[in-house]
A and B are shown apart, each in its own frame.
Chain A
Amino acid sequence: MAEVLVLVDHVDGEVKKVTHELLTAARLIGEASAVVVGAPGTAAKLRDALAAHGAAKVYVAESDDAATQLLTPEVDVLAALVAQASPAAVLVAASASGKEIAGRLAIRIGSGVLVDATEVNADATVGQSIFGGAYNVKAKASKGVPVISVRPGAVEAANAEGAAAEETVAVPAANAASVVTINSREPLAAGDRPELTEASVVVSGGRGVASAENFAVVEALADALGGAVGASRAAVDSGYYPHQFQVGQTGKTVSPQLYIALGISGAIQHRAGMQTSKTIVAVNKDAEAPIFEIADFGVVGDLFKVAPQLTEEVTKRKG
């Protein structure tokens, strides 16, 4: 059975959840081979987690440069492994970095790149969800080894025992003219709330929240539900909430189990970022707001009355 290369996404000596999803998808196509690129000593910390998710092989590409150069070490290592192992496909996470690695790798090896797959099939064709979930597309790479970036959360990770046989590979020497040096890193200040794109509950506020201070109402409900806080573009543009929490076409795309929209009219721009949510609840004063057209449960009313009452009900039921 042909190998499928999976680039391992890791941070602080831990495998990120998306890697387990990639390994699961890889096993549909062939035999999963995990590829670890990082500072010396990285792979040893990751091996058990990779074995538990069905990695038959672990390619270990470690060097000091691999940790201090931006993305090109990953591209160089994967390109060398494609030549060595003739895999059936290469899978990476569709994160900001993963999408770039996939794009560069595909050019390097003369192959098609399939971006942000929401479904990976056994024949290495993929499903994609575009225009904020308005269209479903099926696509394939028509040349070379398919390079596929897979949307985090799209594939359900399954446990499987893998041999995780280690094989050390060299990190090829960098091309000096195109090296980008990482001088230092700062993790983003992570709050107590789950990450917006990973959260199973998202509570978002819009123009109707009317001020930055009032977002406390949105946050209180999110915290009661153990969810993340989002904001519509109108709220972000008005300065009520920071841009990194924007849900919509020019912000994040979220697909939680439950999405609660407070004071959001539901412009197409916003819907593109949340319409694939499993259940949508909307609270808006305006009975004509388009958000009600896609809400599973809508309340026409004042969010400052409805949301605190809901927060209280949720807290009471948890208690």
Chain B
Amino acid sequence: MNIVVLVKQVPDTYSERKLADSDHTLDRESADAVLDEINERAVEEALQLQATHGGEVTVVSVGPDRATDAIRKALSMGADKAVHVSDEALHGSDAIATAKVLAKAVSTIEGVDLVLAGNEATDGRVGAVPAMVAELLGLPALTHARKVEVDGTAVKVERETDEGVLHLSAALPAVISVNEKINEPRYPSFKGIMAAKKKPVTTLTVADLGVDTAELGIAGSWTSVLESAPKPPRSAGQRVEDEGDGGTKVAEYLVGQKLI
């Protein structure tokens, strides 16, 4: 079974994230970049399915040159090869523009049975890119999976969201997004890290994919950001040392604020 895993490099959620003043896009210098955690779970699920069903695991990422680090991390976990779409024309692309490029990139890989992705990236939090890719490819989208079972040409998924648990089924090929409950991702071994350096990474431009640059970037996206501003930081209020009456003091404060 051939599996594609969509991965994204994101600013580390433990660092301060900023937008550039000039064009409202992510200020990539301001934060450390990491493979989004949920993607590690998607890679893990792909590797577990591969262990049972065989086939190849290909990582696909759309992002600037430095996204190579995220791709290498996925390869060091055990994925076989990667496709990296990197192009200046992508700068400032919105979710739909990005989904179009991802869908085209997936189409370059032959005999894909399953496309796996994280359910929502920690930076944009659009939470719809896997479904958008499915829409563009005309495939079923089984999203927010906490459990995946492949049986021949069919796939079963347990979807868990705040709305409850749904037991889903669809025919392969299909797109699946995973949630935090799906598995515990493995740590890359030293051997895996060394092996990843030799694994093939195909770098493509949008022209290679036959995507019109007029549909990409800040100008080509179907949405535009009109303005952006950092929210004024909260300032610290009152602080007291507990001298045996800390709870009472909080209660008095809450009464003063009419909160209790």
Per-position binary interface string of chain B over residues 229-253, scored 1 when its CB falls under 8 Å from any chain A CB and 0 otherwise = 1110110111111101111111101
Q: Are B170 and A179 in contact (CB under 8 A)?
A: yes
Contact among A135, A275, A297 with B253 in the assembled complex (CB-CB below 8 Å)? A297
Contact among B135, B144, B230, B240 with A299 in the assembled complex (CB-CB below 8 Å)? B240
Query: Considering only CB atoms and an 8 Å cut-off, how many residues of chain B contact the other chain?
Result: 85
Which DSSP category, helix, strand, loop or mixed, fits chain B's interface? mixed
CB of A163 closer than 8 Å to a CB of B: no
Stretch at the interface among A27-35, A36-44, A113-121, A153-161: A113-121
Q: Are B129 and A279 in contact (CB under 8 A)?
A: no
Closest CB of chain A to B107's CB: distance in Å? 15
Please report which residues of chain A, range 75-112, place their CB below 8 angstroms from some CB of chain B when the two chains form the complex.
75, 95-97, 99-100, 102-104, 106-108, 110-112
Q: Which residues of B contact A313 (CB under 8 A)?
A: 247-248, 250-251
Q: Are A306 and B226 in contact (CB under 8 A)?
A: no
Stretch at the interface among A49-57, A58-66, A137-145, A204-212: A137-145
Given A139-B224, A272-B13, A301-B242, the answer on whether A96 and B253 have CB atoms closer than 8 Å is no
Q: Which residues of B contact A216 (CB under 8 A)?
A: none
Q: Are B13 and A306 in contact (CB under 8 A)?
A: no
Contact among B138, B162, B233 with A175 in the assembled complex (CB-CB below 8 Å)? B138
Q: Which residues of A contact B127 (CB under 8 A)?
A: 96, 99-100, 115
Which DSSP category, helix, strand, loop or mixed, fits chain A's interface? mixed
Q: How far is it, in angstroms, between the C-alpha of A134 and the C-alpha of B137 when the chains are bound?
A: 35
Q: Which residues of A contact B229 (CB under 8 A)?
A: 135-136
Per-position binary interface string of chain B over residues 137-165, scored 1 when its CB falls under 8 Å from any chain A CB and 0 otherwise = 01111111000000000000001111111
Contact among B24, B96, B170, B247 with A181 in the assembled complex (CB-CB below 8 Å)? B170
Q: Are A298 and B237 in contact (CB under 8 A)?
A: yes
Contact residues on A (Cβ < 8 Å of other chain), bracket:
35 or more
What's the A-B contact tally at a CB cutoff of 8 Å? Answer: 267
Closest CB of chain B to A220's CB: distance in Å? 12
Q: How far is it, in angstroms, between the C-alpha of A251 and the C-alpha of B240 when the chains are bound?
A: 30
Q: Are B162 and A96 in contact (CB under 8 A)?
A: yes
Q: Which residues of B contact A96 (CB under 8 A)?
A: 119, 127, 143-144, 161-163
Please report which residues of chain B, range 101-149, place their CB below 8 angstroms from some CB of chain A when the two chains form the complex.
119, 122-129, 131-132, 134-136, 138-144
Q: Are A243 and B180 in contact (CB under 8 A)?
A: yes
Q: Are A317 and B138 in contact (CB under 8 A)?
A: no
Please report which residues of chain A, range 302-319, place their CB below 8 angstroms from some CB of chain B when the two chains form the complex.
302, 305-314, 317-318
Contact among A134, A141, A179, A302 with B222 in the assembled complex (CB-CB below 8 Å)? A141
Q: Which residues of A contact B128 (CB under 8 A)?
A: 99-100, 102-104, 113, 115
Can you list 6 contacts pairing A with B, beta carbon distance less than 8 Å?
Answer: A99-B126, A115-B126, A134-B16, A175-B138, A297-B237, A313-B248
Q: A interface vs B, CB < 8 Å?
A: 11, 70-71, 75, 95-97, 99-100, 102-104, 106-108, 110-116, 125, 129-131, 133-144, 175, 177-188, 195, 197, 201, 225, 243-244, 248-250, 257-258, 267-269, 272, 275, 279-281, 283, 292-302, 305-314, 317-318
